[in-house]
Amino acid sequence: MNAAEFVQPDRLWSDLMTLADITDPERPHTRRSFSDRFLDGRRWLEQRFTEAGLTCHLDDAGNLIGRRLGSADGAGTIMSGSHSDTVPDGGRFDGILGVLCALEAARAFRDAGLVLRHDLEIVDFLAEEPSDFGLSCIGSRGMAGALTTDQRALAAPGGETLALALARMGGRPERLDTPRRTDLRAFLEVHIEQGIVLEQDGLPIGAVTAIAGVTRVEILFEGRADHAGTTPMDRRQDAAVAAAGVITFVSRRATELARSGQGHMTATCGIVGVSPNASNVVPRSARIVVDIRVSERAVVEAFLKELETTSLRLASEAHVRLERFRCLSDTKPVTCDATLIRMIEQAAGQLGLKHRQIVSSAGHDAAFVAQLCPAAMVFVPCRDGRSHDPEEWCSPEDAANAARILTQALQDIDRDF
């Protein structure tokens, strides 16, 4: 029996639109991790999981998991899912599509009367997007045993530590040093591409072969605040001057590396702040967070050395101090499992859907779950490649295709793993 035939596109689409509407009213579509609005979405998801016959629980890392028991004791667990949190003013599909396609697959198995040999788990990972703690993929890090003590001690601007926030979400951070899960046999994650390749190629499905590593570095320069009118230009300790030099270096050098044939490379200074941030005051301090994404590990390691050396030089030239140069988070590039990639491609072929292999230049929870078991991803197009934006859009047809591919691939994994 082919359970993919029992996927109901209208049911899936209704769920997508309903969850998207659980948003901060003034900032659609916003449902930030650790917020009250996020918990509203979680409660809605738990209700849908339960209605689908799944048994729900929160794991130690605060991930919401719906479980459907298999027929074979000791066969292990097949997992699928993504995340329900968003960036500010984010879209209706980033993360959400993966959670709800996995839910639709579970409902398709139920409606088909098909019990898998393996246990099936549908997961909503906590805080995949960058949070107020300066860290992303918190739930999947925790599941993989990769959420360090230092990371759990990170504090949000209001002073709450990540450990306290995890406990507030229902997690048990004190237990995250215990051994990792050993029952997982395979993981699949559906996601919008967040790029333009599939749409421009006219293809409905991408089989992801690798996930770029994401490294975030905080740079803090400290100078001296002085009167902007009375302090001569050659006697200033202007922290913003050094920061401006870093921003220029990051853009120029990343562009050179991206053109060098050494794989995917991007670097972005997405957080820039100066203090006291007044038009008539020389900036006392300047803080930058650099987001670096590569498909080749050696590239980021060399770039970080260049970045630190350049930051020290710029600080000296501006007569300020490089007060802080620290790595906030660092994930290595991940190669997806070849067998799972083949199964995704076979499922697409069985359903008559054209497809191609593709590299993910965005980070995903699958990169951490890959530390526990074979993992792979299914991409579908998003209009104009837009994501992290209110205009983010995936067509109902592409969403249904993703659910069918996932359902078919999960059924094949159950048979062969």
pLDDT in tens, 98-132: 999 999 999 999 999 999 999 999 999 999 998 99
Is 331 a residue whose pLDDT tops 90? no
**pLDDT class for 271, splitting at 50, 70, 90?**
very high
Q: Most distant CA pair in the chain: distance in Å? A: 81
pLDDT in tens, 350-394: 999 999 999 898 999 999 999 999 999 999 999 999 999 999 999
Going from N- to C-terminal start, the domains of the chain cover 3-212+333-416, 213-330
Binding residues for Zn(2+): 83, 94, 129, 191, 388
Binding residues: 83, 94, 129, 191, 216, 280, 293, 388
**pLDDT class for 165, splitting at 50, 70, 90?**
very high
pLDDT in tens, 220-230: 999 999 999 99
Mean pLDDT computed over 280-297: 96
pLDDT in tens, 202-214: 999 999 999 999 8
Neighbours of 169 (CB within 10 A): 22
Distance of alpha carbon 332 from alpha carbon 367, whole angstroms: 8
Classify domain 213-330 by CATH architecture: 2-Layer Sandwich (3.30)
Q: What is the reported pLDDT for 9?
A: 98
Mean pLDDT computed over 162-185: 95
* CATH code for the domain defined by 3-212+333-416: 3.40.630.10
Binding residues for allantoate: 216, 280, 293
Using alpha carbons, select from 74, 188, 28 the residue that is nearest to residue 123.
Answer: 188
Contact partners, residue 104, CB within 8 Å, separation at least 6: 7, 8, 11, 12, 15, 403, 407
Q: Are strands 205-211 and 375-380 parallel, antiparallel or unpaired?
A: antiparallel
**pLDDT class for 26, splitting at 50, 70, 90?**
confident
The percentage of the chain sitting over the pLDDT mark of 90, rounded to a whole number, equals: 94
Per the model's pLDDT, the better-predicted residue between 289 and 359 turns out to be: 289
Q: What is the reported pLDDT for 130?
A: 87
Q: Measured in Å, how far apart are the chain's first and last C-alpha atoms?
A: 18
Q: What is the pTM of this model?
A: 0.85
**pLDDT class for 178, splitting at 50, 70, 90?**
confident
Q: What is the reported pLDDT for 175?
A: 95
Mean pLDDT computed over 231-240: 98
